[in-house]
Every structure is written in structure tokens, then in C-alpha cells.
Amino acid sequence: MFGFPQTELHITKMKEYGLIFDRIIFLNDTTEEEPGREIKKRMANIGDYVFDWEEESAKAQKVLGTIKEFIGEDGVVEVDCTGTKEEVFIKIRTKIDPFFMQADSEEVKFDWSTLPTADEENPKRGPRSDFGDFCPVTYCKSGFLVKGKSDFESFVFGKSYRFAGEKEQEEFKFNPNTFLEKVTIPLCPPQPKIMVVGMKGSGVST
């Protein structure tokens, strides 16, 4: 993980030694209303240091150009650095790891026709998870078995998870791995070689 301008030196060394990264993550403040607002706020609290967003942004773009020449356009991914540490971590993981556990897209619909005919007492549902009918969030956080409701259902790898309420469902969807870390993911990809870069205040060292 490197901030600017040290990155230029490291890119030169990588070229020299033939080191290849699978992905370069460029942390940047992409606030629509005022780009750089979050970074400016962070840097305003550092003693007498005067942070010039325009100057630092120009340096960042110059180094980013060098990186793209080395690794190619497709190898560089820009990630918004605003938010909490956990939120930024989730953004990075989502960008670099296609196997990172996430709730299935709402557009992905389970093929209900493959299940037996349902009746009022036994409505159709997708394949159940290891938690069965119980809410994984209340179980993992409180140790209680609370039956999930059909109105609050999400899918991970095609398996059905039901929740005690909307709050629990949203918490699960934000980061399912928090509750399912003991579950074996279907495919285990090799460890990628990742470099995280960004200007001062973007959170690279964090």
C-alpha cells in the first residue's frame, strides 16, 4: 500500500524487477457535490499542514497515468474512499474479489417451478441455508434462535436466509461474511496481488 508520490518510485522498481500486480486500487474522494470534500476534512485536522486539493489531485492523476502505462487501463480500479473503515473495506473487497460473499442481486430470481406445489401451510421457498428457518443475525449476535419471516428473505449462493426483521436483513446484506465466515465458499480463488494507492488523506495506510 503506497501513497503519492512514493508510488512513482515503486512503479519504477516494479518495472525493473518484472513484478506484476493483478489489480491496482486507487482510493479517491469522488463526492459528487464537491470532489475532495471528505479528504479536505480529514487533512484539516493535521496541525499546521496546509493541504492543497488541486495540487495533490494533479499529482495523483500524473502517477495514475504512470501506473496505467505499466499495468494497463483494465488493471486499475478507482474506489470511493468516503465512509467508515468497514464501508471502504467492503468497497475494496467487492471490486477486487468476485468471490467475496454478498447477498444475491434482487434481479436474480429463484426458479420456483423446480419445487413441489405449495399450499397455504407450506409456501414455496428456495433451498434453505445451514440456519434453516432461523435468523442468522440474531443467532450470531445474541445466541438466540429467532424464526425468520418470509417477508424478510435474502439469498447467498442461491440459498435462502430469513430474518427476524428488516434491520437484521439489511445488516446481513451489507456484509454476509460476518455471519457466514464458517461456511465454505464454493470456489476458493488464489490469493491476488493487490496494490492500494491514493493521495494523502485517502486512507491508504488505514
What is the reported pLDDT for 149?
Answer: 92
Q: What is the pLDDT of residues 147-194, one digit of tens each?
A: 999 899 998 888 889 999 999 999 999 989 888 875 554 445 556 678
Which three cell numbers mark 78?
Answer: 478507482
27 has which bridge partners?
Answer: 79, 198
C-alpha to C-alpha distance for 121 and 50, rounded to whole angstroms:
67
The answer to pTM > 0.75 is: no
DSSP strand pairing (159-163 vs 23-28): unpaired
* pLDDT at position 7: 56
The H-or-E segment that residue 177 falls in is helix 177-180
Residue 185: predicted pLDDT: 46
C-alpha cell at 127: 433451498
Least Cα distance to 7 among 203, 177, 154, 199 occurs for 199
Count of alpha carbons within 13 angstroms of residue 166, beta-carbon side: 0
Look at residue 169 in the predicted model and tell me its pLDDT: 95
Q: How far apart are the first and last CA of the chain?
A: 10
Alpha carbons 59 and 5: distance in angstroms, whole number: 7
Regions of the chain where pLDDT drops below 50: 1, 3, 5, 185-187
Is-cis flag, bond preceding 98, omega within 30? no
